[in-house]
């Protein structure tokens, strides 16, 4: 049954919630969300251009396993912040291998 539902673990409703901060980040995030969904990563994004705190609250309500934070500053640096919602541990990940890192983290 788990194979039919994607990569979600029991107890998590969403694998990755993407928080986009700024116009450039939103455009990037929408494309990234599509790529993640094509890789069977259960993904949600906030479409309302809200503050990070509100987006994090929404991710928490949706029971997201991870939050991927992308802002205009992260776009310039070429990396995003991946936060484990259970452990609260954050790490920077490069855009060049973001899908591979997400797949690896989700399969843990």
**pLDDT tens, residue order, the chain (108 aa):** 344 444 444 567 999 999 999 989 999 999 999 999 999 999 999 888 899 999 999 999 999 999 999 999 999 999 999 999 999 999 999 999 999 999 998 877
Report the alpha-carbon distance of residue 32 to residue 82 in Å, rounded.
14
Report the alpha-carbon distance of residue 50 to residue 28 in Å, rounded.
16
The domain spans of the chain are 2-107
Containing H/E element for 35?
helix 23-38
| 2-107 has CATH 1.10.1740.10 classification | no
Q: What is the model's pTM?
A: 0.85
pLDDT at 54: 96
pLDDT at 108: 76
């Amino acid at each position: 049954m788990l194979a039919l539902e994607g990569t979600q673990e029991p107890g998590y409703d969403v694998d990755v919630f993407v928080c986009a901060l700024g116009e450039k980040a939103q455009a990037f995030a929408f494309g990234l969300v599509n790529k993640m969904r094509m890789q069977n990563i259960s993904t949600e994004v906030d479409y309302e251009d809200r503050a990070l705190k509100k987006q994090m609250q929404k991710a928490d309500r949706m029971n997201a396993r991870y939050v991927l934070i992308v802002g205009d500053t992260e776009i310039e640096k070429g990396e995003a912040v991946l936060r484990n919602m259970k452990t609260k541990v954050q790490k920077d990940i490069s855009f060049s291998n973001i899908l591979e890192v997400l797949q690896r983290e989700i399969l843990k």
